Structure formats: C-alpha cells, structure tokens
Amino acid sequence: PKVVYPVQGLYAQEALKVLPTPRVSLFLVAILIMTTAYMGWRSTFTLFLDDLGGAASVIGTFFALSSLIEMFMAFSSPWLIKRVGTRNTLVFSYSVFLLFWLACSLILQPEMAIPLAVVHGISYGLYDVIGVIYVNEITPPGLTNRAQGMSGGVNRGGGPVRGAVARGVLWPGPRET
C-alpha cells in the first residue's frame, strides 16, 4: 500500500502560507546567499590572515573592533531606520558587505585587515538587526512568527552550514613556503 504523508499541523500549514509571498521568499533566498557567503568568509578569514603571517593580536584586534562596531550599529539602527527606512537600511547593509568583501580581496598584509573591521562591523551590525525588522514589515498579518522562524533557520542554520561546507571544499589550506 502507498503511504502518503500530507503536510500536517498548524505550523506546517502556516509555514506554507509564508513561502508563496514573493517578498518573503526573495528575502529568504537573499539571506541564504548572504549567510552562505558570510560563513564561508568567516571560517576562512583567520586562516587567510594566518597564511599571510598575521599574528594572533592582529586577528584578535580585527574581531574585537568589528564586534564593538557591530554593537554600536545595532543600537543606532533605530535612528538610521527612522531617517532612511527599513528597506534602504537593508540595501545599505548588503552594499557595505559587498564593498567589504571586495576590499578583502585586496589584502596583501595582515595589518590591512584592521581598518576593514570597521566596515565589517557596520555591515553585519545592521544586517543582523534589520533582517528581523524587515521580515516583520513584509510578512502578511498573522504569519510573522512563522516567517521569523524560517528567517532565523536560514540565517543561523541553512546558510552557515552551506558556507562552512563550501569553505571545506574550496579552501586549499596554507600556502607552501
């Protein structure tokens, strides 16, 4: 006999209502791409700096400074959203990420990464906060909790897992000296 497993339960039914919403679906795809790239970068950046001869203090300074800027941006994001809107803040965040990654491709010495910590902090600090607000704004009434759960799953699960796997496949390891 053929066994059929229909989508059951209130959560699954409501989750299926969220996916056909074009703006939500597009945003979920965007954060999947973004977090895949981010985790691929994050899990190789310290290896990259180490490969360039970067001291632990340079790597630590990068992440400490970046974290401080991220916190500042997270706390100042309501001010920015009031002035330019949620969507424009999100576009700004993604644009700064793009500039950051392009600038990372120009790093020839580990110390060159330190100023980029500010750029990274701006982009990630805004991205992390604005994504939650944006999902609330684009989701149909009554489905925001489901959309937030799906967004969180992609943001903290699906994308980072894909990025870490990609890093494992693509990172050749330290250069031979």
- For the segment 136-175, what is each residue's pLDDT rounded down to a tens digit? 999 988 888 888 888 888 888 888 888 888 877 877 766 6
pLDDT at 30 over 80: yes
Distance CA 128, CA 112 (A): 25
Contact, 132 vs 106, CB < 8 A?
no
State both tokens at 2: 């053929």
- The alpha carbons of the chain give a radius of gyration, in whole angstroms, of 19
A 10 A CB-CB count for 76 gives 13
Amino acid making up residue 107: I
**pLDDT for the residue numbered 39:** 85
Question: What pTM was estimated for this model as a whole?
Answer: 0.79
CB 37 within 8 A of CB 101: yes
